[in-house]
Every structure is written in C-alpha cells, then in structure tokens.
Amino acid sequence: MKIKLLLQLPLLLLVISTPGAHAQTNSDFSLKQAQDFAVLNSTANKNAEIDLELAKKKVWETTAIGLPQLNAAVNYTHLFSVPSMQLPYTVLGFKDVASTDTPITFDDITAGRIFAYGDTTGAPRIPLGVQDNTTLEFTVSQLIFSGEYLVGLRASKVFYMISQQAKQKSEQDTRESVANTYFLVLMLQNNFEVMTQSLTNLNKTLTEMKEMHKQGFVEITDVDQIELTTLTLQNGINSMERQIRAAKDLLKFQIGYPMEKEINLTDNLEALAADINLESLVNPEYKVENNINFQIMETQVKLGKLNLQREKSTFLPTLAAVYRHTEKFKTVSFDFVPVDVFALSLNWGLFSSGQRYVKVQQRQLEYEKAINNRDNVANGLKLEYINARNEMINAYDNFNNVKKNLELTKRIYDKTLIKFKEGLSTSMDLTQAQNQFLSAQSEYINNLNAMLSAKSKLTKLTTNL
C-alpha cells in the first residue's frame, strides 16, 4: 500500500503544479483584469476584430487584381444543322487519282491531288463544323499597367490602417466604460458598507436605549427617534443592494461575462486613488497627435488624397496581356479557329465630355473637406483636454476637502454618541450627527469616484494605449 502511494505521489504533485489545476476563480476581477477581459470578450471588440480581418482580406482581394489570372472553360455545342460550303472548280488534272469518276473531296484539293477552279457544278459540299463537339479553353491574363489599380492598392492598405485604428479606439472606449462602471460598483459597495456599519451601531444603541427606557433614564420619544432612524437606514441599505446588483449586471454585460454568474471586484477605490499623480496627469503640453481620434482623421485625409489620385489616374491608359489556348475534341478540315492566341490590349479613354474632369474636382473638394474635419477635431480635442484637465484638478481638490470633512463629521458623530449615552445630548442631536456623517461619507465616495473617472477620461485623451 505504501509503495502504491509513493508511486501516485509524483503524479498528484504534477496535477497540483499544472497551470489551471487550482487557478483563481474567474469570478474575481481587478480593474485591469476586467478591462482585459472586456477587450477579448465584449461584442464591440469582437466585431472590431472581425472588421480588421475583413480589411486584411480586402487588401489581398485588391492585390490579386494585378496578379496573373488563369481561367478554364469547357463548352459543349450541338448543331441541329451543320453548315457547309461548295468550292467552284473545273478539273484540269489529277495526281495519284485512279479515274475522274472517283469522288472528289476537299482533302483532295488541299492535298494537291487535283487542281480546280470554275463553277460549283457537281462539286462536293464541304462541312464547316461537326454536329456535336466539346471545346476546352485556357486563358491567362495579366494586368501590365493601370493607374487606378496602383492607387487602389495603396488605398486598400490605408483602409486596413483605418480598421486597425477603429479597433484601437473600440478598445479604448471599452476600457473607459468598464472603468467607470467598475468605479460605480465600488462606490455603491463602499456606501453599502458604511450604511451597514452605521446600522449595526444604531441597533446596538437602540438596544441600549430600550434598556435605559425600562430603567426610566430616557423618554420613549428618544427611543422612537432612534428606531425611526434605523428603519430609514435599513430601507436605504435595501435600495443600495439592488443598485449594486444592477451595476454588476451592467459590468458583466460590458465585459462579456455570463449574466448568470457572480462577479467579485478585488480592487478598492482608495487603493486606485493612491496611484493618482496629479502633476503627470495635468501636464500642460498636450500632443494631439497621440490621440486615436485625431489619428483616424489623419488617415481619412490620406484616404481622401488617394481618392483624388485615383480619379486623376483615369486619364492614363490601361495595358493588359492575354494568352488563350483552345482544344477541340473534334475538328474539321476547314477550321479557321486558332489554337494559341496572344494579345495585348491597350485601353485609353481619350474624351469623356468633361466627366472625368468634374470627378477629379469632386475628389479635390472631398479632400479639402477631410482636411477641415481633421483640423476641427484637433481643435476640439485641445478644448476637451483643457476641460478634462480642469475637471481633474477640481475633482482632486474637492476630494481632499471632502476627506477632511469626513474626518470632522466622524469625530462629531462619535462625540455626540458618547454624549447621548451619558444623557448630555438628545436623540435629535444624535440623528442629526448620524445623517451628517452619512452625508459626508457619501460625498467622499462620490468625489472619489468622480476623481477616478476624471483620471480615466484624461488618460484616454493623453495616451495612445
């Protein structure tokens, strides 16, 4: 038995050490884990990935237009009536023909066995085809020069670049929305914890007050006031629980997590706020070129320029080469269809009554419009950065002030509670101090959430992650 256990021990250790054998449950998410999970699993990012793959296929589709093309065709024909013809002739002489009574065929003429000219009296009919035939045809074509193709090839690569940038923007938007919802859940959970702890303290105080009332030390109105406060606080807690579930459901929807499964957030607001470096966030030097929205508009300008060049290229000729090989299963002697053909095709539109010229003008105006839109987006981003920076500074200052207010209201509540138990303050004083503390706590959490959201917005504007 010991030997068997010793043999199984290495296998057991291998299973335990195997990655994933005792991995952390997937229901636990830090902020970064939630964002990374959303990038891989949210519907918006999956579709952006598909669009990128489609753009890659489009590039190859456009490239293939200028590569050699090989086509094969099989044709079957049935002639209900085979056409024929007669050649006019008068026999002048024979070569290797037994007698003039021998029927003369077209092969005799082409073989040089007879010499003929004149009318068709008595001449044999020469078939020009066969009743049933199958033809096999191979065609190889190659585009040698086309201005539209060359510009279109460059445009397809720019289109792929736009798809890449759209995917990057989708990831940025997803990370920001996930962060804001993540902060909302943490804020609600913090408020829930504070309210729950306050309710615990109030229930304890209420129990003590009821005992003191039995002893005649406090009036029943003081007990009722404390009980009313606990009931109000309990209703608030119940409402907060529902808000937390709704916010978690929203987060699960955003990251593509199964709605029926539980999700747990491992980060906390205070730890996330501790990483904020205000000086680095509000750097006055703002490079709009790092913003993905500006980069997309810049790419749109490149695409507009290529569209203009493509329209201009229509004034140039197009040159293509074609080689064709034809095989017939049945042939006739009198057949003028060549077996192998090579051709060069030069297509040059010389006059279009001004149509091509006005198309060039349209593309020129669209190009200028794209430049204006890009510049307008650049100015809008600069203004948005100024507002976001001011919002971040205000949120940071408000958070520090509210943090001090929370400390003050906490001390006031604690002292009021002690005085109330000693009979030096009324239940109204305690209720007022309690509400003041809860209000300060809620304001503190709200400002903490606002500061983190402002940081997320500012980071999105200033980085290209």
- Do the beta carbons of residue 175 and residue 327 sit within 8 Å? no
Residue tagged 């066969």 (tokens) = 130
Average pLDDT value for residue range 131-149: 90
> What's the confidence (pLDDT) of residue 461?
86
Average pLDDT value for residue range 123-128: 72
* CA dist list (Å): 226 to 231, 235, 412, 413, 439: 9, 14, 17, 14, 17
Check whether 113 has a pLDDT greater than 70: no
- Do the beta carbons of residue 193 and residue 241 sit within 8 Å? no
> What's the confidence (pLDDT) of residue 153?
87
> What's the confidence (pLDDT) of residue 273?
84
Q: What is the DSSP letter of 146?
A: -
- Do the beta carbons of residue 369 and residue 279 sit within 8 Å? no
Q: Which of 66-70, 73-77, 257-261, 439-443 has the lowest mean pLDDT?
A: 439-443
> What's the confidence (pLDDT) of residue 20?
36
pLDDT one-digit tens code per residue, 15-56: 333 333 333 346 899 999 999 999 999 888 899 999 999 988
Q: Which H/E stretch holds residue 73?
A: strand 69-78
More confident residue, 377 or 102: 377
Mean pLDDT of the chain: 82
DSSP 182-231: HHHHHHHHHHHHHHHHHHHHHHHHHHHHHHHHHHTSS-HHHHHHHHHHHH
pLDDT band at residue 89, thresholds of 50, 70 and 90? low
- Do the beta carbons of residue 395 and residue 437 sit within 8 Å? no
CATH number of this structure's domain 25-81+145-318+354-462? 1.20.1600.10
pLDDT band at residue 245, thresholds of 50, 70 and 90? very high
Q: Which two tokens stand for residue 176?
A: 């920001």
pLDDT band at residue 71, thresholds of 50, 70 and 90? very high
304, 310, 314, 318 alpha-carbon torsion, rounded to 10°:
-170
> What's the confidence (pLDDT) of residue 434?
80
Average pLDDT value for residue range 219-244: 88
DSSP 342-411: EEEEEE-----TTHHHHHHHHHHHHHHHHHHHHHHHHHHHHHHHHHHHHHHHHHHHHHHHHHHHHHHHHH
Q: Which of 65-69, 258-262, 353-357, 461-465 has the lowest mean pLDDT?
A: 461-465
Q: Which H/E stretch holds residue 341?
A: strand 340-347
CA 433/CA 6 separation, integer angstroms: 67
- Do the beta carbons of residue 342 and residue 398 sit within 8 Å? no
> What's the confidence (pLDDT) of residue 99?
47
Q: Which residues make Cβ contacts (< 8 Å) with residue 327, sequence separation at least 6?
A: 135, 136, 137, 339
